[in-house]
Amino acid sequence: MADEFEKMGESLRGKTGKGLGEWVAAARATGISGHMALVNHLKSEHGLGHGYANMIVHAANASSSLSQDGDALVEAAFDGARAHWRPLYDRLIALVQGFGDDVELAPKKGYVSLRRKKQFALLQPSTKDRFDIGLALKGEAPTGKLELAGSWNAMVSHRVRIAADEADDRVAAWLRAAYDRAG
């Protein structure tokens, strides 16, 4: 994953003339604290695409494995009232890694992004009562638990809200479909 961020950083410099460190300094200098508010600022004021803006904000806020130890971010996501979600997370990770050896885990603050050539899903222990799965299934009609993500997370098109016992064959099929589309 570090290689991918390094490549994105090189590409960022090529497109904008500024490296990631310079963009991080500029982002911090705005004084904007909210993640999406800062992403939107970078997009509207500097013409950055969502992927670059999101990467810069994660680096500026030390909220991803780009700037912190990925294992520590995962542990923090499953502390306290959300600790009971860890076995579900571990089952879902094992399932997805069984799809192919090209699955990359990119922990962020509060969730883990699942990538192939691009992000195809995210796993998030949202509350003590709900676990969210974000899926990149653009164009897929919502059905049952599969709903449009709306403004929940701009990096995915759909969301599935589940309780521990609801990670069934439908969830596995949606994850597989998102994985297949990302190849």
Q: Which of 1-5, 34-38, 89-93 has the lowest mean pLDDT?
A: 1-5
Give the pTM. 0.65
Kindly tell me if the per-residue pLDDT of 65 is higher than 90.
no
- The helix/strand/coil state of 158 is strand
- The per-residue pLDDT for 56 is 82
On whether the CB atoms of residues 105 and 127 are closer than 8 A, the answer is no
Tokens 């990670």 belong to which residue?
167
Helical (H) or strand (E) element with 44? helix 35-46
Kindly tell me if the per-residue pLDDT of 6 is higher than 70.
no
Which of 13, 169, 181 is CA-nearest to residue 158? Answer: 181
Q: Which two tokens stand for residue 97?
A: 């890694």
Average pLDDT over residues 165-177: 90
Which of 135, 89, 94 is CA-nearest to residue 110? Answer: 89
Q: Which of 3-7, 43-47, 112-116 has the lowest mean pLDDT?
A: 3-7
At 1, the pLDDT band (50, 70, 90 cuts) reads very low
* Alpha carbon separation from 132 to 35, 112, 136, 146, 159 (Å, rounded): 19, 11, 13, 11, 7
Q: Which parts of 19-94 are beta strand (E)?
A: none
Say how far apart CA 125 and CA 131 lie, in whole Å. 5
Measured from the Cβ of residue 84, the count of other Cβ atoms closer than 10 Å reads 12
At 7, the pLDDT band (50, 70, 90 cuts) reads low
Q: Which range has the top average pLDDT, 10-24, 44-58, 63-77, 110-124?
A: 110-124
Q: pLDDT tens digits, residue range 151-164?
A: 888 889 999 999 87
What's the maximum distance between 2 C-alpha atoms anywhere in the chain?
Answer: 49
Say how far apart CA 62 and CA 135 lie, in whole Å. 24
